[in-house]
């Protein structure tokens, strides 16, 4: 039986299934207005009005005013809860009514089925027949379940059960606290795929669930033969998380398969809706697959795309790897030996590395995808050109911006550097390292695909008289710290010890927040845990940044990167290049000039003039001091990476640096005939090969 609530009445209503009134939960003495099931052995509460504002005594009343607003007042007449509803137009017969479904509604008696307000729009921890869980895109209201704080306290607890209700995304239930605790799979038309598959024949006859998706709203609901209820506080557990998935309702299985194969970013696909007895629709996953579960029977098919998705590319890649392997075996006898053992680095046979690029932890992009993203490598999309070749900006179909390095046929950097970078950087993940998204290897085309850095490289700011004004001292000091943290990861904290070998301003990229990211790992080398240095006859890098032991003897280690970092720090402080530095009073390079100023007690004179007086003197002094310590002649005198970071952070006193390496200008080095330099430069990117005399 339904009872009406008239204006001004206090209430204690009931019907055949539910009761509405005041109650105290568990051992609490507080009182709440709620709805509970009738004919149950213990009181089971389905809905609470004043969850967060209880009555603290036995005085309270519920009032429906002539505007259609339902209020709960305490003994002092203060409103502690309100429906915040009002009727539009003229209303002379407003009533509050508890329906047999357990839904408390306020409606105009003159207009049947025209509810002004209903409790089902504000659920607690219980999901009942006729209630919607989802979102109304017109009003913006989202309905979801929230657990009680405890059995004695119905105020909202830490757990919620809600749908992923985003246009273009497939519907999925989540249980969350501060983060996602459980994903109850995507909806398959009958049930949620977080459980073994339920077909129309095996579905529970007690209730039927359904999903509504249109331009106005998205929601999940049930109707039943029996009474159905979901209690979040009492009942809380696939094809996988659909957060990174895209849904299309009008694609067949063949169309779905083709769509995934034609998009290199596609990870997997499935036909999610089985309500018609056969699979319908298309769900495409992009990125990692999360919470995929395997059931021994009654599972739902999920088609996962493997790395070797295209046989032609796979065959080309296999041939390339085989050719490189044979060539390296042939080269092995010419490698320099240390202690009678050939040195093994990344460009040689290193057992700790998965050699095939197909095994690297990055994606293989098709040429058509990259061509489309860059508008057929339009000159308008060209960002610049380096030793590797031109770099283009692109936008993938899903909207992600990318930077594409395309190997030039005339480039001196070839397959070694290309393969080296793919394998090396794929294993490295750090906020101060550029992220490699994938590569393209098709026909004569060889490309590397990176995350796009809107502010390009550090040298574009540092050595440009107009743009350097955008680099204040605080930004420069943060960039120094960021580069040091990236080096610490490479040298110590990553799974493999890495020596970059080409650290310079042009290889420091800046994101939209001017955060530095070390890039270009084509010349990088990996070390085994027990290795500290290596020897090579092929010296590569950039003049002005190469350490003396590497330039003269072909020896490189993490201390080679430390030397390059020291040069870079002094360049960031001064806004001047080390190579080609000119001063009217002497012929020293930037290192020599900084050393001269330090010994004369005037290190602050190194600061970039464009900064004026807006800098921290202590930070500048420490930066100059650390830069000179890193650029010392002897390897053993230079600090290691953890010490560098600690010194930059202001920890402890600093030792006095010794005279830096390459104190005088490069022209004097050439004339002394100590180091014959073979140099090539492509559009400002310099690669150097230095051979010591035999």
Catalytic residues: 502
- Both tokens of residue 76? 């002092």
119 with 47: CB under 8 angstroms? yes
C-alpha 45/C-alpha 36 separation (Å) is 4
For helices 473-488 and 641-648, give the axis angle rounded to 10 degrees: 160
CB 595 within 8 A of CB 510: no
The token duo for 313 is 């590319």
3-state secondary structure of 671: helix
Longest CA–CA span in the chain (Å) reads 107
Which distant-in-sequence residues (6+ apart) come within 8 Å of 228 by Cβ? 128, 129, 206, 207, 222
Q: For tokens 């240390």, name the residue.
A: 338
- Torsion angles phi and psi, residue 641, rounded to 5: -65, -45
| CA–CA gap between residue 323 and residue 359 (Å, rounded) | 17
The DSSP secondary-structure symbol of 661 reads S
Which backbone phi and psi does 251 adopt, to 5 degrees?
-110, 140
Place of tokens 């993203």: 373
* Dihedral, 214, 217, 220, 224 alpha carbons, nearest 10: -90
Given a contact cutoff of 8 angstroms between Cβ atoms, the answer to whether 188 and 202 are in contact is no
Q: Alpha-carbon Rg of the chain, whole angstroms?
A: 35
Alpha-carbon distance 43 to 36, whole Å?
A: 7
Q: What token pair was written down for 619? A: 């930070």
Q: What is the DSSP string of 337-400?
A: EETTEE---TTS--TTS---GGGSSSEEPPHHHHHHHTTTT-GGGEEEE-SS-EEEEEE-TTS-
Q: In what order do the strands lie in the sheet with 94-98?
A: 4-5, 94-98, 104-108, 115-118
Which position has the token pair 């046979």?
349
């Amino acid at each position: 039986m339904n009872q009406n609530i008239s204006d001004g009445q206090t209430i204690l209503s009931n019907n055949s299934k539910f009761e509405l009134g005041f109650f105290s939960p568990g051992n609490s003495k507080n009182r709440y207005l709620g709805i509970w099931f009738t004919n149950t052995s213990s009181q089971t509460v389905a809905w609470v009005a004043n969850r967060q504002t209880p009555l603290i005594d036995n005085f309270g009343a519920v009032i429906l005013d002539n505007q259609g607003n339902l209020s709960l007042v305490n003994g002092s007449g203060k409103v502690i809860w309100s429906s915040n509803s009002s009727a539009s137009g003229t209303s002379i017969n407003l009533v509050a009514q508890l329906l047999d479904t357990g839904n408390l509604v306020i409606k105009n008696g003159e207009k049947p089925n025209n509810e002004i307000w209903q409790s089902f729009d504000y659920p607690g921890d219980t999901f009942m027949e006729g209630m919607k869980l989802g979102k109304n895109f017109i009003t913006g209201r989202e309905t979801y379940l929230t657990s009680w704080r405890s059995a004695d306290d119905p105020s909202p607890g830490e757990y919620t059960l809600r749908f992923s209700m985003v246009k273009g995304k497939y519907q999925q239930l989540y249980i969350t606290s501060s983060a996602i605790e459980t994903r109850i799979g995507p909806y398959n038309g009958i049930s949620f795929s977080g459980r073994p598959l339920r077909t129309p024949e095996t579905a529970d006859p007690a209730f039927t669930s359904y999903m509504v998706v249109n331009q106005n709203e998205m929601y999940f609901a049930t109707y039943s033969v029996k009474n159905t209820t979901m209690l979040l506080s009492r009942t809380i557990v696939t094809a996988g998380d659909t957060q990174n998935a895209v849904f299309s309702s009008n694609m067949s299985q063949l169309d779905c398969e083709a769509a995934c194969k034609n998009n290199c970013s596609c990870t997997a696909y499935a036909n999610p809706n089985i309500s018609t007895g056969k699979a319908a629709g298309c769900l495409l996953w992009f990125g990692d697959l999360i919470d995929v579960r395997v059931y021994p029977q009654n599972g739902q098919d999920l088609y996962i795309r493997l790395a070797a998705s295209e046989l032609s590319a796979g065959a080309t890649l296999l041939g390339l790897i085989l050719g490189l392997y044979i060539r390296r075996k042939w080269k092995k006898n010419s490698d320099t030996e240390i202690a009678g053992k050939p040195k093994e680095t990344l460009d040689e046979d290193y057992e700790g590395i998965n050699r095939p690029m197909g095994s690297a932890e990055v994606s293989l992009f098709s040429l058509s995808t990259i061509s489309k993203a860059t508008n057929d490598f339009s000159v308008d999309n060209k960002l610049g050109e380096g030793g590797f070749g031109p770099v283009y900006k692109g936008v993938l179909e899903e909207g992600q911006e990318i930077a594409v390095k395309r190997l030039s046929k005339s480039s001196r950097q070839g397959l070694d550097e290309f393969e080296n970078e793919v394998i090396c950087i794929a294993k490295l993940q750090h906020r101060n390292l550029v992220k490699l998204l994938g590569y393209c290897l098709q026909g004569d085309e060889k490309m590397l695909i990176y995350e796009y850095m809107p502010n390009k490289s550090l040298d574009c700011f540092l050595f440009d008289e107009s743009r350097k004004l955008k680099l204040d001292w605080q930004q420069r000091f943060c960039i120094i710290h960021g580069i040091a943290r990236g080096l610490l990861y490479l040298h110590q904290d990553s799974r493999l010890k890495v020596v970059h070998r080409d650290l310079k301003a042009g290889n420091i990229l800046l994101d939209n927040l001017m955060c530095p990211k070390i890039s270009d790992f084509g010349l990088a080398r990996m070390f085994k845990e027990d290795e500290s240095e290596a020897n090579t006859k092929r010296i590569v890098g950039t003049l002005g940044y190469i350490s003396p032991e590497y330039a003269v003897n072909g020896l490189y280690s993490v201390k080679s990167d430390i030397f390059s970092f020291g040069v870079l720090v002094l360049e960031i402080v001064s806004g001047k290049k080390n190579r080609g530095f000119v001063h009217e009073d002497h012929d020293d390079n930037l290192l020599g000039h900084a050393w001269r100023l330090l010994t004369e007690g005037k290190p602050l004179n190194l600061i970039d003039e464009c900064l004026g007086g807006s800098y921290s003197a202590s930070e500048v002094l420490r930066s100059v001091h650390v830069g000179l310590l890193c650029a010392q002649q002897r390897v053993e005198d230079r600090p290691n990476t953890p010490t560098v970071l600690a010194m930059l952070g202001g920890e402890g006193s600093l030792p006095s640096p010794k005279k830096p390496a390459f104190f005088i200008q490069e022209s004097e080095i050439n004339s002394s005939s100590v180091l014959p330099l073979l140099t090539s430069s492509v559009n400002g990117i310099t690669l150097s090969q230095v051979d010591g005399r035999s």
